[in-house]
């Protein structure tokens, strides 16, 4: 019989090696966008097939050790797009982790062609994947790194394949300001108007959505995923308006998938900001509904296979220096 466990409703498996000595940026970032530019976007550009497999094996194995039964992953590796979702899927299937995968299409490195390749990877994977523990959705990085043309293509892909979008939403004020500069009230309105948020879409963060926007997201059937440790670490603010929706789940945003630690942070943040802690606590189990919507069942069992965690950790420790070298050379 399986063991009931947790769903991590938004994460980045490719960051699995980050705790193993990822080099600090030459200049300390002062804003959220600088954190992306000087840390995480440097890391994702350095990821290749070999390092992605090592990152995935470590992240997934440790997630299972922390009683996580399913991961909703948002992947990005602009130097290794084609076939990247297969690497993640193979690891999840092998180790026994249920996973919902996407490639986050973006234009931040290579413009429209980069975005087309990202969406093509989503299409290929969704059509071809036959692994029982894994399925795919369409991914966009965030409103502020894609053009209207890319958003429209993502919307069409969702309609074509009958699926949803997983996207970072209003994590920082920069995302809101960018959408406003394009003539929209914010990124939620922009993606809604362009048709890229069908019911069931997954909006990571939502820190800078207002109460009316959160209610609109809920009314349209979208999920919002709160990531307390990440939001606190990146100093982007507290998503107080999420109290307006019951369709809010919990994720780690690339932090180790220790959902008990994430729940502790959630309660600390709710208490500090005067939120109803019992209402916030319900977010801990909401990820099961996301998985049920996409897989068509409500199983909450841990299904992991046998693996040698210490051997996987040793493999990761051996691979990490090569990735850090690539990262510093870019």
pLDDT over 50 (residue 69): yes
Q: What pLDDT is attached to residue 5?
A: 84
Alpha-carbon span 284 to 43, nearest angstrom: 29
106 SS3 class: coil
Short-list 129, 102, 93, CA closest to 303: 93
pLDDT over 60 (residue 1): no
Q: What pLDDT is attached to residue 330?
A: 82
Place of tokens 């490719």: 14
Average pLDDT of the chain to the nearest whole number: 95
Q: What pLDDT is attached to residue 306?
A: 80
| Single pTM value for the model | 0.96
Rg (CA), the chain: 18
Q: What pLDDT is attached to residue 297?
A: 72
pLDDT over 80 (residue 188): yes
Alpha-carbon span 216 to 37, nearest angstrom: 31
Place of tokens 């954190």: 35
Short-list 45, 42, 43, 137, CA closest to 89: 137
Structural domains in the chain, CATH included, are: 6-329 (3.20.20.140)
Short-list 84, 80, 73, CA closest to 124: 84
pLDDT over 60 (residue 302): no
Short-list 216, 160, 225, CA closest to 190: 216
DSSP H/E element including 226: strand 223-226
2: pLDDT confidence band, cut at 50, 70 and 90? very low
Alpha-carbon span 256 to 127, nearest angstrom: 30
Alpha-carbon span 121 to 103, nearest angstrom: 7
* pLDDT tens-digit map of 150-171: 999 999 999 999 999 999 999 9
Alpha-carbon span 63 to 50, nearest angstrom: 20
Q: What pLDDT is attached to residue 305?
A: 66
Find the mean pLDDT for residues 305-320.
94
């Amino acid at each position: 019989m399986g063991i009931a466990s947790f769903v991590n409703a938004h994460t980045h498996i490719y960051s699995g090696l980050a705790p193993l000595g990822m080099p600090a940026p030459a200049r300390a970032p002062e804003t959220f966008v600088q954190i992306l530019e000087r840390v995480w976007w440097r890391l994702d550009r350095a990821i290749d097939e070999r390092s992605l497999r090592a990152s995935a094996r470590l992240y997934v194995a440790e997630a299972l050790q922390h009683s996580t039964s399913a991961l909703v992953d948002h992947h990005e590796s602009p130097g290794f797009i084609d076939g990247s979702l297969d690497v993640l899927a193979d690891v999840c299937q092998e180790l026994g982790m249920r996973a919902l995968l996407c490639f986050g299409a973006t234009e931040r490195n290579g413009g429209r062609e980069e975005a087309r390749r990202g969406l093509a990877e989503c299409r290929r994977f969704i059509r071809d994947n036959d692994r029982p523990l894994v399925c795919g959705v369409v991914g966009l990085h965030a409103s502020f790194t894609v053009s209207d043309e890319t958003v429209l293509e993502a919307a069409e892909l969702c309609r074509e394949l009958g699926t949803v979008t997983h996207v970072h939403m209003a994590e920082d004020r920069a995302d809101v300001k960018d959408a406003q500069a394009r003539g929209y009230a914010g990124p939620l309105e922009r993606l809604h108007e362009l048709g890229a948020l069908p019911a069931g879409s997954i909006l990571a963060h939502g820190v800078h959505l207002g109460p009316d926007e959160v209610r609109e997201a809920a009314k349209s059937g979208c999920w919002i995923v709160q990531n307390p440790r990440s939001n606190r670490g990146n100093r982007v603010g507290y998503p107080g308006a999420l109290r307006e929706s019951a369709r809010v789940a919990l994720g780690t945003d690339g932090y180790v998938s220790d959902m008990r630690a994430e729940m502790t942070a959630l309660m600390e943040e709710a208490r500090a900001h005067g939120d109803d802690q019992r209402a916030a606590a319900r977010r801990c189990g909401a990820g099961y509904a996301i998985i049920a919507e996409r897989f068509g069942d409500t199983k909450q069992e841990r299904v992991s296979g046998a693996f040698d965690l210490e051997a996987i950790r040793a493999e990761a420790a051996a691979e990490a220096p090569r990735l850090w070298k690539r990262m510093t050379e870019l």
